[in-house]
């Protein structure tokens, strides 16, 4: 591990005499190079990725009703623990009207069923893997012991998958054919290291994940996290929502019941036959990881789904609604606005971030949301005439990807909900002077085993290497530097955004986050305390293609 004295001007007092740590070599140099490339990239389009085109006929916007994923019923609730069971299996799901799309699902639906839980009340989910490949479940945003956090090599093997103990291959049993070729060629080598991960805990057919959920109420989501194959697995349907609630939040008076809508936004592409299209090098997702060269920066779809429906519409009362928005897209960014028929933009009053309630509401007209981020917003339809429509549009989209969904105001209604001026008083308020150390980490494109890679501090992911070691309970400041868009996510902990580009954070950076959207050429500082559990965790870019192509690193809490 390299380190250097931090002698830059402008460093906050608390950290002046501390070291700035990175994980690779030649740290300062890496970061500086990142910044200069960045200046050029800053004028580039707001996407990192390329769009695939659907061959299937697509429905008109705002016709399909918005589905609301059903809440999963517990198998038992005894002993202070709620137990659930989910079978991961292939299913034909109706996404486009009248078309059956083969998907990989949690329990037969997309999104998977929603898990409703209470703060501090543990939940155990028994997952059965009936898919043709190994899987592993991660609860994104969960404050979870490492053994249940879904480390990418902690695989659940399906029926008939070779025994890793005998073959030495935990994750890539079918890769008898060579991993050579161009583009992602070398990445197989990183997969090979994964197979030899001595700490992997591999099970067959099933695994219980226990989540203590001793954390702030928030919208979390669960998704697949298999090494090298997370992006195509999520794309095929392995994603669902998980809501944590508590009494304090319930008593605020925010819109609730049918006026609270979880919205999972994700883009997809459909073949003429109605199957999902994805540019995987190995469409079986059994052997060789990676995508075709044109999509190395990320895969974008031309169909925008909300809760699994294309450009849906939802009937609402002329009242306040709480929208719990999750961007579950692999690589697509959105800048959402809510526009009435006559062009008026409604306020999106943010009440919560990735990790729960803000201290106080923040009103937005335009809400940027990067992959894996969640925004909890209240929108008031009271001023919209009955019969009127409010479209949610993505300012970053073009053509049909500009539309996201619509609300049709169906009736007048009484509204007893409110948005209190104070939402929560338990937000951690770490100061720079609390930080035991400052780390600098670059997120940049680079070469990986002879092919293209996405690297953290110049290195691709390797499960056998510890990148960052943090003593349990320490507060740290991380300065994250990007070349292009990278939504950076930390497992285990929520953090606050301290600065962006050397300036105060943006309005939508408020609250406690677990994913921060680094814009092209930007450096942002985050601060957090690493508390709760020791063990091996991750941080990574949540552009899912970047993640699969190396942009992930190990965080060891000791
Ligand atoms: Cu959404 Cu490593 O996770
Ligand atoms: Cu996560
Ligand atoms: Cu990235």
Within 13 A of 63's CA, how many CA atoms are on the CB side? 7
Which residue matches tokens 């580039």?
A: 44
Structure confidence at residue 49 (pLDDT): 85
Angle ∠(174,175,181) on CA atoms, nearest 5:
150
Domain 78-251: which CATH number of 2.170.120.20, 2.60.40.420, 3.40.30.10, 3.40.630.30: 2.60.40.420
Structure confidence at residue 59 (pLDDT): 98
**In angstroms, what is the span from residue 442 Cα to ligand 1's centroid?**
19
**In angstroms, what is the span from residue 156 Cα to ligand 3's centroid?**
27
Say if CB 484 and CB 517 are below 8 A apart: no
Which residue matches tokens 């949690």?
A: 106
E runs forming strands in 42-121: 50-51, 82-94, 100-106, 112-118
Q: Which ligand is nearest to the CA of 222?
A: 1
CA distance 556 to 535: 6
The mean pLDDT values, 10 residues at a time, for the chain of 558 residues are: 35 44 46 39 62 97 98 97 98 98 98 98 98 98 98 97 64 34 36 66 97 98 98 98 98 98 98 98 95 95 98 98 99 98 97 98 98 98 97 97 98 98 97 98 92 95 97 98 97 98 96 97 97 98 97 98
Domain ranges, ordered by start, for the chain: 78-251, 265-411
DSSP-based three-state secondary structure for 333: coil
Structure confidence at residue 95 (pLDDT): 98
> Relative to the CA of 225, which ligand 1 atom is closest?
2
Q: Is 78 exposed, middle or buried (0-12, 13-18, 19+ CB in 10 A)?
A: exposed
Q: Which ligand is nearest to the CA of 326?
A: 1
Ligand 1 and 139: CB distance under 6 A: no
pTM of the full structure: 0.90
CA distance 15 to 13: 5
Q: How many CB atoms lie within 10 A of CB 93?
A: 19
95, two tokens: 């996404």
247, two tokens: 């009494």
> Relative to the CA of 491, which ligand 1 atom is closest?
2
Topology agreement, domain 78-251 and domain 265-411: yes
**In angstroms, what is the span from residue 166 Cα to ligand 3's centroid?**
35
Q: Which ligand is nearest to the CA of 49?
A: 3
CA distance 310 to 405: 8
Report pLDDT digits (tens) over 455-476: 999 999 999 999 999 999 999 9
Q: Enter the CATH code of domain 265-411.
A: 2.60.40.420
Structure confidence at residue 37 (pLDDT): 40
Q: How many CB atoms lie within 10 A of CB 442?
A: 27
Structure confidence at residue 19 (pLDDT): 56
Structure confidence at residue 118 (pLDDT): 98
């Amino acid at each position: 591990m390299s380190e250097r004295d931090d002698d830059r001007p402008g460093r906050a007092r608390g950290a002046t005499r501390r070291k700035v740590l990175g994980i690779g070599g030649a740290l300062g140099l890496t970061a500086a190079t990142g910044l200069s490339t960045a200046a050029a990239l800053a004028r580039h389009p707001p996407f990192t990725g390329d769009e695939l085109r659907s061959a299937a006929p697509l429905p008109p916007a705002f016709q399909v009703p918005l589905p609301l994923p059903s809440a999963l019923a517990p198998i038992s609730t005894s002993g202070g623990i709620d137990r659930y069971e989910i079978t991961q299996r292939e299913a034909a799901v109706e996404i486009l009207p009248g078309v059956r799309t083969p998907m990989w699902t949690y329990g037969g639906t997309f999104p998977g069923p929603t898990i409703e839980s209470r703060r501090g009340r543990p939940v155990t989910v028994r997952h059965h893997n009936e898919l043709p490949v190994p899987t592993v479940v991660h609860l994104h945003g969960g404050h979870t012991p490492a053994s249940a956090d879904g480390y990418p090599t902690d695989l659940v093997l399906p029926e008939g998958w070779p025994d890793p103990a005998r073959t030495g291959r935990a994750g890539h049993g079918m890769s008898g054919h060579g991993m050579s070729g161009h583009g992602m060629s070398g990445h197989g080598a990183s997969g090979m290291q994964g197979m030899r991960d001595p700490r992997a805990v591999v099970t067959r057919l099933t695994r219980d994940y226990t989540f203590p959920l001793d954390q702030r109420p928030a919208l979390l989501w669960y998704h697949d996290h298999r090494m090298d194959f997370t992006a195509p697995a999520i794309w095929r349907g392995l994603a669902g929502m998980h809501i944590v609630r508590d009494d304090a939040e319930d008593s605020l008076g925010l819109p609730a019941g049918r006026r609270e809508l979880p919205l999972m936004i994700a883009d997809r592409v459909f073949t003429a036959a109605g199957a999902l299209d994805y540019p995987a090098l190995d469409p079986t997702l059994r052997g060789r990881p990676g995508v075709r060269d044109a999509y190395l920066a990320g895969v974008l779809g031309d169909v925008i789904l909300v809760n699994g429906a294309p450009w849906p519409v939802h009937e609402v009362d002329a009242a306040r609604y709480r929208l719990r928005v999750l961007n579950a897209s692999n690589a697509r960014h959105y800048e959402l606005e809510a526009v009435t028929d006559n062009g008026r933009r409604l306020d999106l009053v943010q009440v919560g971030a990735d990790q729960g309630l803000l201290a106080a509401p923040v009103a937005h007209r335009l809400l940027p949301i990067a992959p894996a981020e969640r925004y909890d917003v209240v929108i008031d339809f009271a001023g919209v005439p009955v019969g009127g429509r409010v479209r949610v549009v993505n300012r970053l989209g073009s053509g049909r990807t500009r539309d996201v969904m619509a609300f049709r105001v169906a009736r007048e209604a009484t509204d007893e909900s409110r948005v209190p001026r104070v939402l929560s008083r338990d937000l951690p308020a770490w100061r720079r002077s609390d930080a035991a150390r400052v780390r600098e980490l670059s997120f940049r494109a680079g070469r990986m085993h002879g092919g293209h890679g996405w690297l953290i501090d110049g290195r691709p992911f390797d499960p056998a290497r510890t990148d960052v070691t943090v003593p349990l309970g320490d507060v740290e400041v991380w300065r994250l530097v990007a070349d292009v868009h990278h939504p950076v996510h930390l497992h285990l902990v929520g953090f606050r955004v301290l600065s962006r580009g050397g300036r105060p954070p943006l309005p939508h950076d408020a609250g406690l986050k677990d994913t921060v959207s680094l814009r092209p050429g930007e450096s942002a500082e985050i601060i957090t305390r690493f508390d709760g559990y020791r063990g091996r965790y991750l941080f990574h870019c949540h552009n899912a293609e970047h993640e699969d192509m190396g942009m992930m690193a190990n965080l060891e809490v000791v």
